[in-house]
Amino acid sequence: MKLRITILSTLLTVLAAGPLFASEIYKWTDAEGNVHFGDKPDGARFERVAIVSRPTDRAMVQSQNFARREARDTAAKEKAEAAADAPSEDELQTAAAEKNQKCAEYRQKKQKLVQSRRLYREDEAGERVYLDEAQTISARAEVEGQISEYCGR
């Protein structure tokens, strides 16, 4: 007798819960043109929405989570490496100061080349060797190139 009551109560519970698992979803449009969804249709014009449920594939979810974690770790590692390779603020300021100093030096050199009547260089013995016209043009072009490089023009 107890067994029958237990079986009967279990069967009734399953039958009563059946509509909860097999509920239907309806879609309808109201008079103002708004689309609504619900478990009970409201109005004369409605349509059933087919809902397909399937169990979750745990292995696939785990593999996706693993792939996301790996991608996040890789991105963090690359970001840390990029930050380590990037020059510091002090290094950037030092490089800018050196560049400005070189720019000023080459501008002074250009000024001397323009103002001098005859250009010369000193040889190994310390004597002056005067430059001819082609060498003068070449020296001026070289200084112009260095000014372009260091001064940005």
Query: How many domains is the chain built from?
Result: 3
Residue 150 has pLDDT above 80, yes or no: yes
Are 102 and 144 in the same domain? Answer: yes
Are 121 and 137 in the same domain? Answer: yes
Are 146 and 106 in the same domain? Answer: yes
Band the pLDDT of 153: cuts 50, 70, 90.
low
Q: Structure tokens of 19?
A: 């509509």
Question: pLDDT at position 133, please?
Answer: 87
Are 37 and 65 in the same domain? Answer: no
Question: pLDDT at position 91, please?
Answer: 84
Are 98 and 146 in the same domain? Answer: yes
The predicted-structure confidence for 68-102, as pLDDT tens digits, reads as follows 999 999 999 999 888 777 778 888 889 889 999 99
Q: Is the dihedral angle over the CA atoms 91, 105, 147, 138 positive or is it negative?
A: negative
Band the pLDDT of 11: cuts 50, 70, 90.
low
Are 61 and 35 in the same domain? Answer: no
Q: Is the dihedral angle over the CA atoms 65, 68, 70, 72 positive or is it negative?
A: negative
Question: pLDDT at position 14, please?
Answer: 53
Query: Of the residues 66, 86, 106, which one is the last residue of a structural domain?
Result: 86
Residues of the chain above pLDDT 90, percent? 21
Are 43 and 61 in the same domain? Answer: no
Are 39 and 18 in the same domain? Answer: yes
Are 107 and 139 in the same domain? Answer: yes
Are 108 and 74 in the same domain? Answer: no
**pTM value surpassing 0.85:** no
Residue that wins the pLDDT comparison between 72 and 12: 72
Beta bridge partners, 130, equal 120
* Residue 26, number of CB atoms within 10 A of its CB: 16
Read off the pLDDT of each residue in 123-152 and give the average, rounded to a whole number.
Answer: 88
Are 24 and 62 in the same domain? Answer: no
The predicted-structure confidence for 30-47, as pLDDT tens digits, reads as follows 888 888 888 887 777 888
Read off the pLDDT of each residue in 10-35 and give the average, rounded to a whole number.
Answer: 70
Domain that holds residue 22: 2-49
What are the phi and psi torsion angles at 34 (to 5°)?
-85, 135
Are 102 and 135 in the same domain? Answer: yes
DSSP annotation string for 55-93: ---HHHHHHHHHHHHHHHHHHHHHHHHHHHHSPPHHHHH
